[in-house]
């Protein structure tokens, strides 16, 4: 089959706030081959991602993503890898090309899996999809009391792990952060795992992390996620080298990786213990699979990064579905109405409390454009007054 069309659907909440909630807007991707379709989701600024797909070429290494995708054959996994290689080479000077292609690449796997009537993880070579322990992923409250209440709610829902991140954390004093950490721990109880996401708040400030390390030990945090910017490998390495891996949290990072090389550098040079990859940013499912394999060989735990829809969650679980020992799964619990509308399918916890990549063909979920209609935008891009791209609604 050939790739006939790539359609983008840009949706957003009526009001988008500065809260670090990635489910406030979405860019869905539909790839069509005849009557067959596949779906994916980008995790980046939607309009910039659309532009990367259709921008006029500037030179040989600055061609639109569309130049490497439309009209291509799609009969086997190797075809997707060949398209990916061409996007990397031909669009190397196109800003956000990897983010744009991430959603397209997901949709290609979804399309191929549906055509072959097998789940994507099977196409990757796995013989089964292992269950993961979902950790409820949520933002810190504006106050310690709000953080405590959110922790209590998570505990009441039966989760055995939770991650608190962003919000006011890291913007005040170490004592301010300690109040939130103890509130989260007290709300969860001592038998629930606690992860902490600093949201890159300290950029490259190693001393800021050290000033909070003892309290992270006291609350028995499993990991400290993204205390530094995504490429600050030396800062990650400094904390990894100066803390006791047998006592207290380990470092986690990787969602900012735009390609597998960045993720491998965090593992090999930054010495993180948990590598967290967003399939909507890293280039798609297969680049994430490459990172998962590298992590497995290095003794590093692979974790998905997902804070949007269950379409994105399914795509995020595919790359490590068959790796038994990587037990954690980020599971968003406070999705916007938009993100909930993306798909009627939910990756629910099973009777053992685990979440798995679906057994159904492709990504195993469907997209409901009718439910999304209230959030969709009509987009037209023009050059010299002439339309060059119109949204696929």
| Encoded tokens for 198 | 């600093």
- Alpha-helix runs per DSSP H in the chain: 46-54, 66-69, 77-90, 97-116, 120-123, 144-156, 174-188, 206-218, 233-242, 260-268, 285-298, 310-317, 337-341, 369-372
Residue 210 shares a structural domain with residue 272: yes
Q: Are 328 and 301 in contact (CB under 8 A)?
A: yes
Q: Quick check: is 350 in a domain?
A: no
State whether 118 and 183 are in the same domain. no
Domain presence at residue 351: no
Task: Name residue, tokens 């804070």.
Answer: 307
* Whether residues 177 and 304 fall in one domain: yes
Could you give phi then psi for residue 317, rounded to 5 degrees? -85, -20
Same domain, yes or no, for 144 and 106? no
pLDDT digits (tens, 9 = 90+) for 96-139: 999 999 999 999 999 999 999 999 999 999 999 999 999 999 99
Strand partners, 231: none
- Could you tell me which residues come within 8 angstroms of residue 186 by beta carbon, excluding any fewer than 6 positions away? 148, 151
Q: Output the tens digit of pLDDT for each of the chain's 393 residues.
A: 999 999 999 999 999 999 888 889 999 999 999 999 999 999 999 999 999 999 999 999 999 999 999 999 999 999 999 999 999 999 999 989 999 999 999 999 999 999 999 999 999 999 999 999 999 999 999 999 999 999 999 999 999 999 999 999 999 999 999 999 999 999 999 999 999 999 999 999 999 999 999 999 999 999 999 999 999 999 999 999 999 988 889 999 999 999 999 999 999 999 999 999 999 999 999 999 999 999 999 999 999 999 899 999 999 999 999 999 999 999 988 889 999 999 999 999 999 999 999 999 999 999 999 999 999 999 999 999 999 888 864
What CATH number has the domain bearing residue 46? 3.30.390.10
Residues 147, 236, single domain; the answer is yes
Q: How many domains does the chain have?
A: 2
Could you tell me which of 359, 337, 356 has the C-alpha nearest to residue 347? 356
**Is residue 352, in this structure, part of any structural domain at all?**
no
Same domain membership, residue 330 and residue 379? no
Classify residue 356: in a domain, yes or no.
no
With 0.85 as the threshold, say if the pTM is over it: yes
Q: Specify whether 229 is located in the same domain as 102.
A: no
CATH code: domain of residue 283? 3.20.20.120
Domain contains 347: no
Q: What is the distance between the alpha carbons of residues 229 and 384, in angstroms, rounded to a whole number? A: 39
Cα separation, 138 vs 182, in Å, equals 16
Domain extent for 376: 5-123+368-390
Domain check: are 82 and 227 in the same one? Answer: no
Three state DSSP letters for 235-251 = HHHHHHHHCCCCCCCEE
- Give 345-374 pLDDT, tens digit per residue: 999 999 999 999 999 999 999 999 999 999
DSSP β-ladder status, 193-197 and 161-165: parallel
Are 308 and 385 part of one and the same domain? no
């Amino acid at each position: 089959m050939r790739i006939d069309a790539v359609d983008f659907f840009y949706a957003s909440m009526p009001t988008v706030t500065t809260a670090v909630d990635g489910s406030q807007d979405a860019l869905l991707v539909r790839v069509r081959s005849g009557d067959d379709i596949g779906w994916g989701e980008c995790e980046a600024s939607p309009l910039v991602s659309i532009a990367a797909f259709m921008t006029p070429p500037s030179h040989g290494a600055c061609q639109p993503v569309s130049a490497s995708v439309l009209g291509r054959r799609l009969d086997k996994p190797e075809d997707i890898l060949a398209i990916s290689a061409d996007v990397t080479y031909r669009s190397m000077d196109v800003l956000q090309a990897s983010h744009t292609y991430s959603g397209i690449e997901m949709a290609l796997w979804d399309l191929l899996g549906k055509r072959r009537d097998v789940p994507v993880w099977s196409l990757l070579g796995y013989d089964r999809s292992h269950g993961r322990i979902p950790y409820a992923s949520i933002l810190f409250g504006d106050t310690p009391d709000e953080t405590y209440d959110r922790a209590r709610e998570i505990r009441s829902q039966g989760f055995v792990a939770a991650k608190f991140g962003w919000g006011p954390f890291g913007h005040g004093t170490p004592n301010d952060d300690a109040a939130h950490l103890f509130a989260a721990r007290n709300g969860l109880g001592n038998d629930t795992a606690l992860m902490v996401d600093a949201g890159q708040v300290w950029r490259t400030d190693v001393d800021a992390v050290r000033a909070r390390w003892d309290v992270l030990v006291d609350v028995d945090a499993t990991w400290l996620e993204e205390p530094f910017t995504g490429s600050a490998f030396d800062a990650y390495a400094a904390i990894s080298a100066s803390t006791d891996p047998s006592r207290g949290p380990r470092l986690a990072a990787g969602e900012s990786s735009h390609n597998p090389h960045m993720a491998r550098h965090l593992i090999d040079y930054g010495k993180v213990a948990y590598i967290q990859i967003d399939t909507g940013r890293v280039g798609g499912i297969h680049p994430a699979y490459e990172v998962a394999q590298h992590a497995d060989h290095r003794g590093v735990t692979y974790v998905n990064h997902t804070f949007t829809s269950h379409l994105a969650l399914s795509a995020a679980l595919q790359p490590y579905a068959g790796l038994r020992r990587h037990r954690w799964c980020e599971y968003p619990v406070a999705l916007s109405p938009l993100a909930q509308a993306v798909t009627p399918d939910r990756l629910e916890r099973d009777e053992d409390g685990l979440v798995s990549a679906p057994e159904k063909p492709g990504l195993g979920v469907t997209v409901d454009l009718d439910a999304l209609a209230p959030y969709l935008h009509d987009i037209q891009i023009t050059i010299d007054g002439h339309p060059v791209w119109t949204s696929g609604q």
